[in-house]
Amino acid sequence: MFRNLRLQLTSLYILASLALIALLAFGAYLVVKREFQANIDLALRYRMAQQLQWQGFPLPADLADIGFEWATRSGTLVEGGAAVLVSEEEHEHEEEGEDPALEGSPFDLDSFDADLAPLFVVSSASQSLRPVAVNRNLPLTAPYAPAAEAALQTGSDLRTTYLEDGTALRLLTYRLPTSGPPQVIQVGRTLEDQQRVLDGLLRMLAVLGGAGALALASGSWWLAGKSLLPAQRAWEKQQSFVANASHELRAPLTLVRASAEVAQRQLPTDDSRRALLNDVLSEVDHMAALVDDLLLLSRLDAGRLHLERARLDVRSLLEELERSVGRVAEASQVTFSTTAEDGLTLMVDPTRARQVLLVLLDNALQHTPPGGSVHMDARRMASRVRIDVRDTGPGIDPQDLPHVFERFFRSNQRGVESNTGLGLAIAKGLVEAQGGTISLENALPTGTLARLEFPGG
């Protein structure tokens, strides 16, 4: 029992720790990804403002402060190189029409920054405009059509898209304020280097998470064992006490019963004291049954109940029960019957299996009124054997159903004073010890259905 509790507690520790690790890893990945995207978007906007100003167009309102944002985030620009690479022919055109107003400004094309170098620029502008500066390895030779159409409608467009070869691009597109046909200028950057870094981060997080999971598993197992150790010791002491007390009570109960029987035999038949001795014998029998039940439960809890498994023919068992229990049912004016499919066998302890069925039949007979019936049926269900015990009694209060297998639970409907409230708890323990399941439910239109399922033998 405590091993299962330890496994459950360990699983709970591991799941909670893994959830925390996953949350931290996801957060770290998301922060890095968003930081990459923020840097790329800022670089795209800066390059767009640079190109628009170089072309002689006024800056849109959303790009008016981009130079300050770039200087604040990226630091002072380093002089000494071109921001983008251009062909010799384009470079000649740039030198011929270079605007002196850009020299020394935040958008000076001679300023170099590593964040701007991977960016490319394409435009649909006419030849009357200055040729845009581009780098030599363009993933696009013309503006990406869906982004250009969106920019023509709304003025600008920022998106991530994928080309047919799978290349991921981050594109910023603006509509040019020209008087002729609508034109756009588009600044973009491939995301391959960013994706390589993110993939590497994922691999690192996966490796660290796996190593952390192994460490957590061993640590959680140790911590669960440490947490359960006091409870396990207390439970073992309690079980030892119950077992020893039950064993020690057997001898005095046997002596009390023997003395009461001797005293009863020595009394005359009409002596009123015989009734008192009958009450003593009845209570001794009740106490002896309770002691036996407690001893059996303590062995079940400790996993020390010895089960002698053997192949059991189900039809023969049901026929035997019909003969023995049938006489009790007849005395109670209850009809008892059984049915079973041919060839059903179980690999169980025959004595314990018979004990479980007797508990269920005893409950059914006690709660079935005269004129009612109790029926036991056995059949194969896939690889298992199902045994149903159905009665026509009043059924069980729905509020009591979740508690019927609890120890010492006695429903107010029962009205059977001799019941110790341990029968169904013992039946459940014996069934589960042999790999089976047991359930109890209200049958329709009336009565109770007790259902057993065992692996087929």
Half-sphere exposure (Cβ direction) of 425: Cα atoms closer than 13 Å: 19
Kindly list the averaged pLDDT for each block of 10 residues, start to end, along the chain of length 457.
74 82 88 90 90 85 85 55 36 43 45 68 66 60 89 92 88 87 88 88 86 82 80 72 72 85 86 86 83 78 81 92 91 93 91 92 91 94 92 89 85 56 88 92 88 86
Query: How many Cβ atoms from other residues are within 10 Å of residue 435's Cβ?
Result: 13
Residue 190 bridge partners (DSSP): 169
| Whole-angstrom distance, CA of residue 109 vs CA of residue 81 | 8
How would you classify the pairing of strands 373-381 and 335-340?
parallel
The confidence score (pLDDT) of residue 340 equals 93
Nearest to 354 by CA among 380, 326, 319: 319
Q: Output the CA angle 4-10-11, nearest 5 degrees.
A: 90
- Phi (first) and psi of residue 166, to 5 degrees: 90, 0
| Whole-angstrom distance, CA of residue 400 vs CA of residue 406 | 10
Q: Are 278 and 330 in contact (CB under 8 A)?
A: no
How would you classify the pairing of strands 183-190 and 168-176?
antiparallel
| Whole-angstrom distance, CA of residue 316 vs CA of residue 326 | 15
3-state SS record for the chain = CHHHHHHHHHHHHHHHHHHHHHHHHHHHHHHHHHHHHHHHHHHHHHHHHHHHHHHCCCCCHHHCCHHHHHHHHHCCCEECCCCCCCCHHHHHHHHHCCCHHHCCCCCCCCEECCCCCCCEEEECCCCCCCCCCCCCCCCCCCCCHHHHHHHHHHCEEEEEEECCCCCEEEEEEEEECCCCCCEEEEEEEECHHHHHHHHHHHHHHHHHHHHHHHHHHHHHHHHHHHHHHHHHHHHHHHHHHHHHHHHHHHHHHHHHHHHHHHHHHHCCCCCCHHHHHHHHHHHHHHHHHHHHHHHHHHHHHHCCCCCCCEEEEHHHHHHHHHHHHHHHHHHCCCEEEEEECCCCEEEECHHHHHHHHHHHHHHHHHCCCCCCEEEEEEEEECCEEEEEEEECCCCCCCCCHHHCCCCCCCCCCCCCCCCCCCHHHHHHHHHHHCCCEEEEEECCCCCEEEEEEEEEC
Q: Are 170 and 40 in contact (CB under 8 A)?
A: yes
* Structural domains of the chain sorted by starting position, each given as residue range(s) with its CATH number in brackets: 2-190 (no CATH), 198-302 (1.10.287.130), 310-455 (3.30.565.10)
Q: Are 41 and 172 in contact (CB under 8 A)?
A: yes
Which own/partner pairs from 228-237 qualify as long-range (CB within 8 Å, at least 24 positions apart)? Answer: 228/2, 228/5, 228/6, 228/9, 231/2, 232/2, 235/1, 235/2, 235/301, 236/302
The confidence score (pLDDT) of residue 402 equals 87
| Whole-angstrom distance, CA of residue 235 vs CA of residue 344 | 39
Record the tokens describing residue 15, joined without a space: 């799941």
How would you classify the pairing of strands 120-123 and 183-190?
antiparallel
The confidence score (pLDDT) of residue 420 equals 67
